[in-house]
């Protein structure tokens, strides 16, 4: 078959379905409230609904006129917590139900340093079109894009339930369900809202978008403002192996992906992250480590390799790597001048770790679990 014909049929070439229904008020910027004829200052309304520290049930600090205007013109509901699973390691997996009954997952991971800091892992789509062989979400296929209001809503629901309130203590990673660059418009709108000085004001240095390597999306995001930091999931070191694990590689191969990263306009002290899931017996040899270092080339200086042990799940037969393989892989990368971290996967016991986020669909028997 002509390869181009095959490419035309790939699911990520088609826009994902969008949600019908009313616009969420959490997806609206201050100037848009004003332009839409709000009976008050757009910035005031935005600040009251976006800042967790201003939140009071029913928004009593907004005038009755504004509250009625919002209720008449927007969907004012946040995603609901359908299930909440506290892990032994301190992280919490939240299953959130959206207005149309679809469910997504977000993972709240406190890092106890001197102050309570939290990394929040959020979803960008219901399901995912990319079909990576090792990923539980990938087995679902794509159901729909999240709207910006739903992405922001996820963050606000998680922060209202589990904290913290303040922007300096929050790190956001788009590493939950979905391929964020397959939903770039809504993901970027959400980032504009979450980064807005009148709202949560989360710095772009603390927002990371992780992609499986949708090159056109990387090239568009590179020139959008505000621009989050970028992580790319490489996960293999030859085109043959990568195409087998990640179908996206058949459209944009490793050389093309590397070219896009080389063209990323780095900001001051900005780092790229190369994520690499170590799958036992598949991509975890010292030769793989060497090829990974070769592929990175110049990027070895000043950027990060983040190794993730394969989290096993029922949807795939892949296994986690042997510890000796992980140690040898790390040692080889370090010897080749890479800066390497091994991710501590959080929430494994509640199926909240990378690649384990599978729950979706309309579930009539959702229950409140252990928090
Ligand atoms: N779709 C984006 C972001 C969500 S996946 C992406 O692919 O980058 C977040 C990370 O989890 C990716 O680096 C992905 O490679 C990794 N991952 C997927 N399945 C995994 C599994 N079973 N075990 C460990 N990591 C996994
Ligand atoms: Fe989608 Fe990322 Fe899972 Fe691949 S690894 S199927 S891109 S969520």
The pLDDT tens digits for 228-258 are 999 999 999 999 999 999 999 999 999 999 9
Q: In Å, how far are 218, 301, 311 from 261, measured between CA atoms?
A: 8, 14, 27
- Please give the structure tokens belonging to residue 287: 């030769």
Residue 151 CA to residue 61 CA, distance in Å, equals 24
Q: Are 235 and 257 in contact (CB under 8 A)?
A: no
Cα 204 to ligand 1 centre (Å): 21
Q: Which atom of ligand 2 is nearest to the CA of 177?
A: 8
The pLDDT tens digits for 62-87 are 999 999 999 999 999 999 999 999 99
Residue with CA nearest ligand 1 atom 21: 355
Cα 235 to ligand 1 centre (Å): 9
Instruction: List the strands of the sheet with 80-86, edge to edge.
Output: 80-86, 92-97, 103-112, 116-121, 170-174, 207-211, 229-233, 273-278, 304-309, 339-342
Cα 72 to ligand 2 centre (Å): 38
Ligand in nearest proximity to the CA of 121: 1
Of 84, 102, 103, 105, which residue is the catalytic one?
A: 105
Percentage, residues of the chain above pLDDT 90: 81
Confidence at residue 362, expressed as pLDDT on a 0 to 100 scale: 41
- Please give the structure tokens belonging to residue 264: 């990323």
Confidence at residue 31, expressed as pLDDT on a 0 to 100 scale: 98
For residues 351 and 38, the model is more confident at: 38
Contacts of residue 71, Cβ cutoff 8 Å, sequence gap at least 6: none
Cα 159 to ligand 1 centre (Å): 23
Break the chain down into helix, strand, coil percent, rounded to 5.
Answer: 35, 20, 45
Q: Where is 305: in which H helix or E strand?
A: strand 304-309
Q: How confident is the model at residue 32 (pLDDT cuts 50, 70, 90)?
A: very high
The pLDDT tens digits for 259-306 are 999 999 999 999 999 999 999 999 999 999 999 999 999 999 999 999
Q: Are 67 and 59 in contact (CB under 8 A)?
A: yes
Confidence at residue 367, expressed as pLDDT on a 0 to 100 scale: 37
Number of neighbouring beta carbons within 10 Å of residue 159: 23
Q: Are 256 and 239 in contact (CB under 8 A)?
A: no
Q: How confident is the model at residue 2 (pLDDT cuts 50, 70, 90)?
A: very low
Global model pTM greater than 0.85: yes
Least confident range from 165-174, 309-318, 348-357: namely 348-357
Of 84, 121, 135, 354, which residue is the catalytic one?
A: 354
Least confident range from 27-41, 42-56, 100-114, 169-183: namely 100-114
All domains of the chain in start order, with CATH: 26-76 (no CATH), 77-350 (3.20.20.70)
The pLDDT tens digits for 354-368 are 667 665 444 433 334
Task: Give me the mean pLDDT over the 9-32 stretch.
Answer: 92
Q: Quick check: 1 pLDDT over 50?
A: no
Q: Is residue 371 among the annotated active site residues?
A: no
Ligand 2 pocket, Cβ-based, cut-off 6 angstroms? 128, 130-132, 135, 137-138, 178-179, 212
Q: Quick check: 315 pLDDT over 70?
A: yes
Residue 363 CA to residue 371 CA, distance in Å, equals 19
Residue 361 CA to residue 7 CA, distance in Å, equals 28
The pLDDT tens digits for 115-172 are 679 999 999 999 999 999 999 988 889 999 999 999 999 999 999 999 998 888 999 9
Q: Is residue 354 among the annotated active site residues?
A: yes
Choose one of 213, 355, 356 to mutate for the ligand 2 pocket test, by most ligand atoms within 8 angstroms of C-beta. Answer: 355
Residue 1 CA to residue 9 CA, distance in Å, equals 12
The pLDDT tens digits for 57-68 are 999 999 999 999
Q: In Å, how far are 112, 119, 153, 164 from 116, measured between CA atoms?
A: 5, 10, 22, 8
Confidence at residue 363, expressed as pLDDT on a 0 to 100 scale: 42
Ligand 1: does its nearest atom lie under 6 Å from the Cβ of 354? yes
Q: Where is 207: in which H helix or E strand?
A: strand 207-211
Choose one of 128, 183, 233, 359 to mutate for the ligand 2 pocket test, by most ligand atoms within 8 angstroms of C-beta. Answer: 128
Cα 233 to ligand 1 centre (Å): 7
């Amino acid at each position: 078959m002509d390869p181009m014909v095959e490419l035309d049929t790939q699911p990520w070439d088609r826009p994902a379905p969008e949600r019908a229904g009313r616009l969420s008020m959490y997806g609206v910027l201050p100037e848009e409230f004003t332009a839409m004829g709000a009976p008050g200052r757009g910035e005031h309304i935005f600040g009251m609904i976006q800042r967790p520290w201003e939140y009071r049930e029913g928004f009593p600090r907004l005038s009755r006129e504004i509250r009625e205007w919002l209720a008449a013109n927007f969907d004012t509901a946040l995603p609901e917590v359908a299930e909440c699973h506290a892990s032994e390691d301190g992280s919490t997996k939240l299953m959130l139900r959206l207005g149309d009954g679809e469910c997504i997952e977000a993972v709240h991971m406190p890092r106890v340093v001197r102050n309570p800091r939290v990394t929040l892992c959020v979803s960008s789509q219901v399901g995912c079109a990319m079909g990576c062989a090792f990923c539980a979400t990938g087995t679902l296929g794509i159901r729909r894009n999240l709207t910006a209001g739903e992405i922001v809503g996820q963050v606000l629901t998680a922060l209202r339930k589990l904290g913290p309130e303040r922007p300096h203590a929050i790190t956001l990673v788009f590493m939950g369900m979905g391929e964020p660059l397959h939903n770039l418009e809504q993901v970027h709108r959400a980032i504009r809202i979450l980064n807005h000085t009148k709202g949560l004001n989360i710095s772009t240095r603390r927002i990371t978008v992780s992609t499986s390597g949708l090159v056109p999306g990387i090239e568009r995001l590179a020139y959008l403002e505000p621009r989050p930091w970028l992580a790319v999931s490489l996960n293999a070191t030859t085109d043959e192996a990568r195409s087998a694990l990640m179908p996206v590689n058949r459209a944009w191969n490793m050389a093309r992906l590397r070219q896009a990263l080389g063209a990323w306009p780095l900001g001051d002290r900005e780092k790229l992250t190369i994520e690499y899931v170590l799958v036992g017996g598949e991509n975890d040899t010292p030769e793989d480590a060497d090829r990974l270092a070769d592929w990175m080339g110049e990027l070895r200086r000043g950027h990060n390799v983040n190794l993730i042990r394969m989290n096993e799940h029922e949807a795939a037969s892949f296994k986690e790597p042997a510890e000796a393989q992980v140690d040898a892989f790390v040692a080889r990368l370090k010897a080749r001048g890479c800066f390497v971290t091994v991710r501590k996967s959080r929430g494994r016991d509640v199926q909240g770790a990378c690649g384990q986020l599978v729950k979706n669909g309309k579930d009539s028997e959702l229950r409140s679990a252990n928090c």
